[in-house]
Amino acid sequence: MPKTIFFDLDGTLTDSGPGIMNCAARMLDHFKFPYDQALLRTFIGPPLRVRLGELGFTPEQAAEATKIFRSQYEVTGKFENSPYPGMIDLLKTLKAQGHRLFVATSKPETTAQEVLDHFHMTEYFEEICGADLERGRDTKDQVITYLKEKVGTLENVVMVGDTDYDVLGAKAHGIPTIGVTWGYGNADSMTSCGAIAIANTMAKLSGLLRE
């Protein structure tokens, strides 16, 4: 039976790590905040506001940090990125099989659209849904709330993502998640959060989506 599949973007469809980490480093340098590569990786996936709050930034500092981050990301960072090998072929196959494909990302929706347009991936998705603060969408949970209205039913829906944020956001709506390991999360952690399966290759993900 065809499935409705919600795909995360960063770390799932495309490897956006280099651009995000470069911008995060510039932002943290501004605040003289110490970091290493492991900490920079944690900016991939969650809303920037959430991650800064976890690091102890005040709302005022987070607002300033966000401006610094976006000043670089909107110009160059968003294109320091590439689709994961085999992903476009998988999307072509899934669409040809009749599956309904959507993007559910906490990246700003306009940026997500630009990235997917850039890599000629937009055509595979019915809708690209991301953060939109004016419409009250920021977290993965809120993005999925919006997508539920578009899809109309949660029967036979599955989330595909690479972090705990994907698993927990989908779980809040009773949606199962398949975790992928080529991104920036942790397989054991995703399993602990409730992921129903873990895919470490594109072939494995394809097989799980056929089950």
Q: Could you report the per-residue pLDDT of 20-63, keeping only the tens digit for each?
A: 999 999 999 999 999 999 999 999 878 898 999 999 999 999 99
pLDDT of residue 183: 93
- For the chain, how many structural domains are there in total? 2
- Both 30 and 8 in one domain: the answer is no
- Both 141 and 185 in one domain: the answer is yes
In order of 138, 139, 171, 197, 210, the CA distances from 194 in angstroms are 22, 18, 8, 9, 20
Instruction: Give yes or no for a contact between 28 and 35, defined as CB atoms under 8 angstroms apart.
Output: yes
Phi-psi region of 195 (alpha: psi -120 to 50; beta: other; left: phi over 0): beta
Please say which residue of 57, 79, 101 terminates a domain. 79
pLDDT of residue 200: 97
Please say which residue of 79, 94, 127 terminates a domain. 79
- Both 31 and 92 in one domain: the answer is no
- Both 141 and 49 in one domain: the answer is no
Residue 211 has pLDDT above 90, yes or no: no
> Is the CA virtual torsion 130, 131, 136, 138 positive or negative?
positive
Residue 133 has pLDDT above 80, yes or no: no
- Kindly indicate the confidence band of residue 187, based on its pLDDT and cuts at 50, 70 and 90: very high
- Give me 122's structure tokens: 């937009």
pTM of the predicted protein model:
0.87
pLDDT of residue 67: 96
- Both 133 and 190 in one domain: the answer is yes
- Both 32 and 87 in one domain: the answer is no
- Both 40 and 120 in one domain: the answer is no
Domain boundaries, position 40: 17-79
What's the average model confidence in pLDDT over 108-118?
A: 94
- Both 72 and 104 in one domain: the answer is no
| Digit-coded pLDDT (tens) for 57-108 | 999 999 999 999 999 999 999 999 999 999 999 999 999 999 999 999 998 8
- In total, the chain counts a number of residues equal to 211
Residue 97, judged by CB atoms within 10 A of its CB (0-12, 13-18, 19+), counts as exposed
Please say which residue of 36, 52, 79 terminates a domain. 79
Give the CATH number for residue 124.
3.40.50.1000
Q: How many CA atoms lie within 13 A of 69 on its CB side?
A: 23
Q: Confirm whether 138 is a catalytic residue.
A: no
Cα separation, 132 vs 109, in Å, equals: 6
- Both 47 and 144 in one domain: the answer is no
pLDDT of residue 129: 96
- Both 27 and 69 in one domain: the answer is yes
pLDDT of residue 135: 80
pLDDT of residue 82: 95
Q: Which of helix, strand or coil describes residue 11? A: coil
- Both 120 and 66 in one domain: the answer is no
Question: Which residue in 8, 10, 138, 164 is the catalytic one?
Answer: 8
- Both 93 and 64 in one domain: the answer is no
pLDDT of residue 9: 96
Mean predicted lDDT score pLDDT of the chain? 94
Q: Quick one: how far is CA 211 from the chain centroid?
A: 23
Q: What percent of the chain has pLDDT over 90?
A: 83
Give the CATH number for residue 51.
1.10.150.240
Q: Which residues contact 9 (CB under 8 A, 6 or more apart)?
A: 16, 103, 105, 107, 112, 115, 116, 130
Q: Which of helix, strand or coil describes residue 174? A: coil
